[in-house]
Amino acid sequence: MKPEVEVSLQDEVQFGSKKISYSVQRSKRTSLGISVNPDASVSVVAPYDASLMLIREKVLKRADWIIKQQIDFVQLEKPVARYNYTSGESHWYLGKQYRLKFKDGDESSISRDGRFLMVACNRDPETVSELLNKWYRDRAKEKIQNLIETWWPRMGGADQLPSFTVRKLEKRWGSCTAKGLLIFNDDLIKAPSQCIEYVVVHELCHLFEHNHGPKFMSLLNRHLPDWEDRKRRLEGLEF
């Protein structure tokens, strides 16, 4: 008896100046399915009797969509900023800029006072950086936890809330692992609340549909109809 799904081969097609590589899995299904995965790889699930020529034709037919999805997977990439962590320097929090201002204090801390981030610690840039990053991470955890608690039941999720972590990510604002762990960049707390909400809902949708296929887009459109506006706003930010 043939297995339900088996890995069959790797193949590629040329579409204009772009080369699209993809894996092919043979399945008992009667129709051919194409999906783009979070790492931008392309997977094809095809019936056992589908010829390689037919598969290539189907991939080429959907080449525009595939390339768009691969590009969309960089939508959550974040810019890389450089700071000196000196007094008067501007830093972002929830879409607004705040200036660093040092104050005396027995314990290291950061607090908001108007449009200032009041920093109590020695002025060594590395120390200030570590303290500020921890402050961002703590605020991000609080914000994201609240958003998940709001959105997960609304999306029809199970009683148990999804697990998530907040940490430094090299390029991305957020991701969802194959095991369903949501990962968010602590710098996300620098973005406006609507943009943070977009990233959180985007990743929650991946718990239902891991790729960016039609079902995923349908979920995102249903729960956050203005996600494209939020996405554009997030992409336009420079921290």
For the chain, give every residue range classified as CATH 3.30.2010.10: 90-235
What strand order describes the sheet that includes 182-185?
Answer: 164-167, 182-185, 174-176
How far apart are alpha carbons 160 and 151 in whole angstroms? Answer: 13
Mean of the pLDDT values across residues 57-65?
Answer: 92
SS3 of residue 69 by DSSP = helix
- Tell me the range of 106-115, 142-151, 180-189 where mean pLDDT is highest: 142-151
Residue 239: count of CB within 10 angstroms of its CB: 14
Percent of the chain predicted with pLDDT > 70? 92
How far apart are alpha carbons 217 and 211 in whole angstroms? Answer: 9
Both structure tokens of 158? 């199970």
- Does residue 126 surpass a pLDDT of 60? yes
- At 1-38, the pLDDT tens digits run 444 445 568 899 998 888 999 999 888 888 898 988 77
Q: Which CATH number fits domain 90-235: 3.90.1110.10, 3.40.30.10, 3.40.50.12170, 3.30.2010.10?
A: 3.30.2010.10
Q: Lowest-confidence range among 26-40, 51-65, 134-148?
A: 26-40
What single string gives the DSSP state of each residue in 126-190?
HHHHHHHHHHHHHHHHHHHHHHHHHHHHHTT--SSPPPEEEE--SSBSEEE-TT--EEEEGGGGG
pTM of the model: 0.67
